[in-house]
Amino acid sequence: MTDNVFAQLRQVGEDLVGQGLTTSHGGNISVRHQGRILITTHFAMLGRLSPGDVIEIPLREEPDRIASDASRDAALHQLIYKFTPAMAVIHAHPVHAVSISLKNDIISPLDLEGSVFLRDISVVEPEDAAVRLPQLLQTRVAALVRSHGSYTVGRGLSEALAYVSALEFSCRVAILNGGRPAKEVHL
């Protein structure tokens, strides 16, 4: 891992925690790097990452062979990279987005930025995440796992962070609008 890549991971971790987009030890961050994945370790303190909090895992290795200190989401990150052109994946726990995910299957942002960049955001059940998220993120930049958190992808960490931030902003706007996104769809 180069110093530049680690500096980017550290800065995004600081931004996620500093902006209230995740809890101190919640979520994980990864990047596709030289044919492999650099991912934060399980229970890493994202706002204070050290080099030991980021490990390298194979891009295509079977999930059961992943290092035990990797994030518990490492296999899901692998699947997302396998089925999308993403160069970065961020899993965060934005509180307003998690709150809205409890009662909605689709979130349609009311704000202009969210409606343009995020479009409709699907909410999937936790037990369906490994199958649905890689599919959804082929054509979307963000998705939510009900009661858990968001997954965003980007051409780089900065772009993936922008989508987490936009998602949380859109959900705050929805809550200020009476707690409902523009459309409520129950599948």
Cβ neighbour number for residue 182 with a 10 Å cutoff: 17
The neighbouring-strand residues paired with 149 are 145
Model pLDDT for residues 23-48, shown as the tens digit of each residue: 999 999 999 999 999 999 999 999 99
Given a cut of 90, whether residue 78 has pLDDT beyond it is yes
76 exposure class (CB count in 10 Å sphere: 0-12, 13-18, 19+): buried
Given a cut of 90, whether residue 63 has pLDDT beyond it is no
182 in any annotated domain: no
Q: Which two tokens stand for residue 148?
A: 């858990």
148 in any annotated domain: yes
- Confidence at 186, pLDDT banded by 50, 70, 90: very low
Cα torsion angle, 8, 84, 17, 15, sign = positive
**C-alpha to C-alpha distance for 67 and 91, rounded to whole angstroms:** 19
Q: For the chain, give the longest Cα–Cα distance.
A: 46
Distance of CA 60 to the CA centre of its chain: 20
Given a cut of 70, whether residue 180 has pLDDT beyond it is no
Phi/psi for 70 (5° steps) reads -70, 160
153 in any annotated domain: yes
26 in any annotated domain: yes
Cα torsion angle, 17, 21, 23, 26, sign = negative
Amino acid at 103: K
**C-alpha to C-alpha distance for 59 and 43, rounded to whole angstroms:** 21
187 in any annotated domain: no
185 in any annotated domain: no
Domain that holds residue 13: 3-176
Among 45-49, 70-74, 101-105, the range scoring the smallest mean pLDDT is 70-74
Given a cut of 50, whether residue 71 has pLDDT beyond it is yes
184 in any annotated domain: no
Q: What's the CATH number where 28 sits?
A: 3.40.225.10
Model pLDDT for residues 118-172, shown as the tens digit of each residue: 999 999 999 999 999 999 999 999 999 999 999 999 999 999 999 999 999 999 9
The pLDDT, as a whole number, for residue 102 is 96
Number of domains in the chain: 1
Cβ neighbour number for residue 181 with a 10 Å cutoff: 23
The pLDDT, as a whole number, for residue 185 is 44
Given a cut of 60, whether residue 182 has pLDDT beyond it is no
The pLDDT, as a whole number, for residue 179 is 67
186 in any annotated domain: no
The pLDDT, as a whole number, for residue 2 is 86
Given a cut of 70, whether residue 184 has pLDDT beyond it is no
The pLDDT, as a whole number, for residue 181 is 60
Q: Which two tokens stand for residue 31?
A: 């990047």
- Output the pTM of the full model: 0.92
Give the pairing of strands 121-124 and 142-145: parallel
